[in-house]
Amino acid sequence: MHLEVIDRLPKDDPCSMDSSNAGIMMADRYIPKEVMCRILTRLPVRSFIRLRSVCKRWHSLMEDPEFQDIWSIFRAPAKIPFLLWHHPGDGEHILALDLAREWRPFPTAIFLSIVPDGKRVSLTLLSSTKGLFLIKQRRNELETDEVYFTINPLTRSVRQLPLMTDHESYIVRQMIMIDEVENRYIIIAEDLNLDSAGHMSKLQMYDSAKDAWQMIGELPYCLRFKSAAFVNRSLYCLAAFTTAHVFRFDGTQSWHEVKAKVPLCTGSQLLRCVPSLFQHRGRLMLVGTSDTNRDRWQREAGMREWLEVWELDEARPDWIHVHSFSSPWFLNSKDIKHHFLTSGDYLFLTCVSSFNGAMEGERTICNLRTGSSWREILPTPKKTEESSPVAVNIFSGFCIYEPSIEMEA
C-alpha cells in the first residue's frame, strides 16, 4: 500500500528542499517535512536507497542538512538503546551515545512542543523506560510548584500525573515498565521526612492503568530506597543504609525481605557505589562492587576495582555470581562515584571522579549475554554548539533512551 502511494507522488514536485518547512502532499494531505524525515529514517538502508529513484526531491534528500541531523540522532539501533549524558557544568546540552560509539547532540527542542510552557520553565529528566521519559517541570523555585509528566518524544504523547498524597515530602525515584503489551508502567516515590523518631520511610506508587497514586507500605527503619525491578509479576526493591537489603512487595501494603543475603560491601563503601537491581531475561539481577575486606590488599597495591553481577536463586536461596568486570578506576582512588543503568542485554557503568576541581569520567558498557565490554570517555559539550531553546537536565547525569513508537504516555 505504501508503494502505491509513493507511485502517485508527482515526479516534478516544484517544492525545494532548501525550505526548512517544505513538506509533501500525499493523498491530498500535507505531511510536514520533519514527519516525512522521521518516517524515512526508519527504513532499512537498502530500502531507502531504492526509494531515492521515486523523484528528484527524494534523491536529493540524503544531502539535506535537516534530514542528516534527524538520521544521525533518531536512527536507533534495534539491539541497543541510546545513552544520554548531561554534563553537570553545562546547563543546556545533552549528548547521546549510539551503537557506532559516537556522541551526538540530543535535540532537547523536541520537548518544546510536548511539555506545556516548556520555554519558560526548567525541565528535569528523572527516569526513563521503553521509550518514555519521566519529566519534572518547575515554574519557579518553590517545590510546591512542580508538575510531573510522562512523554514519548517520538509519538509526542504526553500525560500529566495527578498530585501525590502529601506530595510536599515525597520525591519521585524511578519509573518501571511492568507490561509492554498493555503499555502499563509504575512510578515509585519515597517519603523524605524522617525527622520524627521511629519514622519509617514510606513509599507510594503511581499506576498508569489507574492514573492514580496509592500508598504501598514502609521500609524498615533507616533504610532508604535505591532501585526497583519488576520480575515475573513481582515488584522488588533494593534499600540500603549501612547495609543493603532486597524486599518483595506483597501487592497490598507490606514489603517482605528476600532471604538471600545481599553479597555487597557495607558502610562507607555504599557512598562510592550504590548497588542496583534490574531485570534481565526474566531473572532478578544485582550489580555492585566486590567485598571491601576481601579487596583490602588489592586496594593497598593500587589494583583496579571490580564490579560484580549476581542473579537471585530463590530456591536455594542465594545470589549466584554471573559476571565480573573491572572499573576504569583504581581501588585507592578518592572521590569516585559509580552509577548503573541497564537495558536489555546491556549494563552501563559510569565512574565519575573529581580531581583538582575538574571532573573526569568513563562509561563501561557490558553485554550481559556475551560477557564482552568496552569503555567510552565521557565528553564535554563543545562551546560552538548552539544554545538549546529549553533548559533540560538529567537528574542523575545519565539516563537510557530506547526509541519506541509503540509506547504511549
**How far from the centroid of its chain's Cα atoms is residue 148's Cα?**
16
Can you tell me the mean pLDDT for 64-71? 67
Pair (65, 175) in one structural domain: no
Which of these, 211, 190, 340, 310, lies nearest to 255 by C-alpha position?
190
Q: Which of 73, 102, 131 is the last residue of a domain?
A: 73
Q: Which of 55, 73, 91 is the last residue of a domain?
A: 73
Instruction: Report the C-alpha gap between 321 and 310 in whole angstroms.
Output: 4
Pair (101, 160) in one structural domain: yes
Pair (101, 188) in one structural domain: yes
What per-residue confidence (pLDDT) applies to 37?
72
Tell me whether residue 327 is in a domain: yes
Tell me whether residue 408 is in a domain: no
Pair (255, 297) in one structural domain: yes
What per-residue confidence (pLDDT) applies to 6?
34
Q: How many domains does the chain have?
A: 2
| CB of 349 closer than 8 Å to CB of 386 | no
Instruction: Report the C-alpha gap between 227 and 188 in whole angstroms.
Output: 9
How do residues 313-338 score in pLDDT, each as one tens digit? 988 889 998 887 765 544 444 555 66
Pair (189, 134) in one structural domain: yes
What per-residue confidence (pLDDT) applies to 35?
72
Tell me whether residue 409 is in a domain: no
Pair (255, 388) in one structural domain: yes
Confidence of residue 2 (pLDDT cuts 50, 70, 90): very low
With a pLDDT cut of 70, the percent of the chain lying above it is 58
Can you tell me the mean pLDDT for 161-166? 86
Burial 197-211 (b: 16+ CB within 10 A, else e): eeeebbbbbbebeee
Tell me whether residue 269 is in a domain: yes
Pair (88, 148) in one structural domain: yes
pLDDT surpassing 60 at residue 359: no
CATH at residue 315: 2.120.10
**Most confident stretch, 47-56, 251-260, 372-381:** 251-260
pLDDT surpassing 80 at residue 257: yes
Q: Which of 22, 47, 73 is the last residue of a domain?
A: 73
Pair (177, 290) in one structural domain: yes
Tell me whether residue 84 is in a domain: yes
Pair (52, 162) in one structural domain: no
Can you tell me the mean pLDDT for 52-61? 69
Instruction: Report the C-alpha gap between 408 and 132 in whole angstroms.
Output: 8
Can you tell me the mean pLDDT for 379-401? 68
Instruction: Report the C-alpha gap between 392 and 90 in whole angstroms.
Output: 10
Confidence of residue 301 (pLDDT cuts 50, 70, 90): very low
Tell me whether residue 363 is in a domain: yes
Can you tell me the mean pLDDT for 279-308? 65
What per-residue confidence (pLDDT) applies to 76?
43
Tell me whether residue 237 is in a domain: yes
pLDDT surpassing 60 at residue 94: yes
Domain containing 262: what range?
76-401
Pair (181, 247) in one structural domain: yes
Residue 154 three-state SS: coil
| CB of 227 closer than 8 Å to CB of 217 | no
Pair (179, 57) in one structural domain: no
Pair (49, 183) in one structural domain: no
Which of these, 282, 286, 277, 278, lies nearest to 322 by C-alpha position?
286
Can you tell me the mean pLDDT for 218-222? 79
Tell me whether residue 382 is in a domain: yes
